[in-house]
């Protein structure tokens, strides 16, 4: 293992598209959505512990989830659980970990990692990640992993790359595109030069800090003014001064779409971002009628291609439904057509307007 290799696992999201299983007080990264015996953040930690020193693994989360991280990752260095004072999307937290590690280790290289993704082939993932770190170091590049698309998914972002590689299976990025409509997604798939955006980034701390200085100078000034407090007892107080002044923006918009030294590695390692109930359906075993069931006390009669999740102690009997999402919890029952899954986030907002925060 390389002592200059670090990973920052981002674990501050709410996961509203997995409502009602994922709730504001206990979001999806802390759940065992696929009933593997381990939560998503535990699987993520173990994936990186294969090739990153455990003391170099950080989790960036919100204040309210720091205790959950500590509980679910007892082998982690407690000082490596970094709590944000407020949610400001991914650019501020990526800036924070980059400035922090640059102060600690000028040779540091970082992998920015979502906490809630599935990787079925960890060895292939490790190979791609190490390849990205090596290229980032030697070329002073910002590197991302792109997933070879298998169908026109409208729930993922896309990365377009140049046709000719600059190194073995490494390509310069041309464009980033947010979630497209179906017709555009079909066009992307047919073109052969678009990949799904996995949201996994690799770079040297010093190169990312330079990118912030160039493309987000206001945010850069905020972190530069406080960086001498990072890795000290004053760090949390510094963040409380910085975060209210940071804009709410993703690292994709802030840096990746603007920089001219961004490269992508087309990859295939059994990846899913597990962002919706349909992605859970895709990753669960199905019965002979195509139903995916998470729950040991579910009975299905004449129903097909449904995604079903229910508490172990509760009997759920399902009859005559096709292509539905049925999620039963202690206090909420969701029944939703699978084709409407992208609207679940909107339904949660509607619940909040009508019922307040009790079901969030």
- List the domain boundaries for the chain: 5-272, 277-359
* Residue 329 and residue 21 in contact, taking contact as beta carbons nearer than 8 Å: yes
> Rounded to whole angstroms, how far apart are CA atoms 76 and 55?
7
Chain centre distance of CA 310: 25
- Supply the pLDDT for residue 267: 92
- Supply the pLDDT for residue 190: 83
- Beta strands 171-177 and 158-161 are antiparallel
- Cite the beta strand spans of the chain per DSSP E: 5-10, 57-62, 81-84, 109-114, 118-119, 142-147, 158-161, 171-177, 194-204, 262-267, 271-272, 292-294, 298-301, 307-309, 316-319, 324-328, 333-337
How would you write the pLDDT of the chain (360 residues) with one tens digit per residue? 899 999 999 998 887 888 998 888 889 999 998 888 899 999 999 999 999 999 999 999 999 999 999 999 998 999 999 999 998 899 999 999 999 999 999 999 999 999 999 999 999 999 999 999 999 999 999 999 999 888 888 878 899 999 998 898 999 999 898 888 888 888 888 888 889 999 999 999 999 999 999 999 999 999 999 999 999 999 999 999 999 999 999 999 999 999 999 999 999 898 888 888 988 898 899 999 999 998 888 999 999 999 999 988 889 999 999 999 999 999 999 999 999 888 888 898 899 899 888 888
- What percent helix, strand, coil does the chain show, rounded to 5? 40, 25, 35
- Domain 5-272 coded CATH 3.90.550.10: yes
Partners of residue 119 on adjacent β-strands: 271
Supply the angle between the helices 235-242 and 217-226 in degrees, to the nearest 10: 150
> Rounded to whole angstroms, how far apart are CA atoms 224 and 222?
6
Q: Exposure pattern of 248-261 as b/e (b: 16+ CB <10 Å)? A: ebbbbbbbbeebeb
Can you give the C-alpha Rg of the chain in angstroms? 21
pTM of the model: 0.91
Burial class (CB in 10 A: 0-12, 13-18, 19+), 212: buried
> Rounded to whole angstroms, how far apart are CA atoms 155 and 182?
10
Dump pLDDT digits (tens) for 202-253: 999 999 999 999 999 999 999 999 999 999 999 999 999 999 999 999 999 9
> Rounded to whole angstroms, how far apart are CA atoms 10 and 93?
8
> Rounded to whole angstroms, how far apart are CA atoms 241 and 92?
13
- Supply the pLDDT for residue 321: 93
Collapsing DSSP states into helix, strand and coil, what is residue 23? strand
| Torsion angle defined by CA atoms of residues 204, 210, 214 and 215, in that order, rounded to the nearest 10 degrees | 30
Collapsing DSSP states into helix, strand and coil, what is residue 216? coil
Dump pLDDT digits (tens) for 49-83: 999 999 999 999 999 999 999 999 998 999 999 99
Phi-psi region of 144 (alpha: psi -120 to 50; beta: other; left: phi over 0): beta
In DSSP notation, 118-174 reads EES-HHHHHHHHHHHHHHHHHHT-EEEEEEPPSS--SSS-EEEE-SS-SBTTBEEEE
């Amino acid at each position: 293992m390389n002592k200059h290799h670090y990973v920052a696992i981002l674990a501050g999201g709410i996961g509203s598209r997995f409502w009602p299983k994922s709730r504001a007080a206990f979001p999806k990264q802390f759940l065992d959505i696929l009933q593997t015996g381990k939560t998503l953040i535990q699987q993520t930690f173990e994936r990186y512990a294969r090739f990153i020193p455990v003391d170099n693994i950080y989790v960036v989360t919100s204040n309210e989830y720091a205790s959950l991280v500590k509980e679910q990752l007892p082998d982690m260095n407690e000082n490596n659980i970094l709590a944000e004072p407020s949610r400001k999307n991914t650019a501020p937290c990526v800036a924070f970990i980059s400035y922090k590690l640059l102060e600690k280790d000028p040779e540091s290289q970082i992998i920015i990692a979502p906490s809630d993704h599935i990787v079925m082939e960890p060895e292939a993932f490790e190979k791609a990640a190490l390849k990205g770190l090596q290229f980032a170091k030697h070329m002073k590049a910002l590197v991302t992993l792109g997933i070879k698309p298998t169908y026109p998914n409208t729930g993922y972002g896309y990365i377009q790359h140049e046709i000719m590689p600059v190194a073995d299976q490494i390509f310069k990025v041309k464009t980033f595109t947010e979630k497209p409509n179906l017709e555009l997604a079909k066009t992307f798939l047919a073109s052969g030069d678009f990949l799904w955006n996995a949201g996994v980034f690799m770079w040297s701390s010093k190169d990312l800090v330079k990118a912030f200085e160039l493309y987000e100078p206001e945010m850069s000034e905020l972190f530069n003014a406080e960086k001498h407090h990072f890795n000290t007892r004053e760090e949390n107080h510094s963040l409380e001064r910085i975060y209210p002044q940071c804009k709410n923006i993703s690292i994709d918009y802030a840096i990746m779409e603007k920089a001219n030294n961004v490269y992508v590695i087309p990859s295939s390692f059994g990846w899913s971002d597990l962002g919706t109930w349909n992605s859970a359906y895709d990753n669960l075993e199905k019965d002979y009628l195509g139903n995916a069931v998470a729950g040991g006390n579910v009975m299905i009669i004449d129903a097909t291609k449904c995604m079903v999740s229910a508490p172990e102690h509760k009997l759920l009997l399902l009859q005559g439904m096709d292509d539905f999402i049925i999620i039963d919890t202690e206090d909420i029952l969701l029944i939703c057509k699978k084709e409407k899954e992208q609207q679940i986030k909107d339904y949660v907002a509607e619940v909040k307007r009508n019922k307040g925060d009790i079901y969030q």
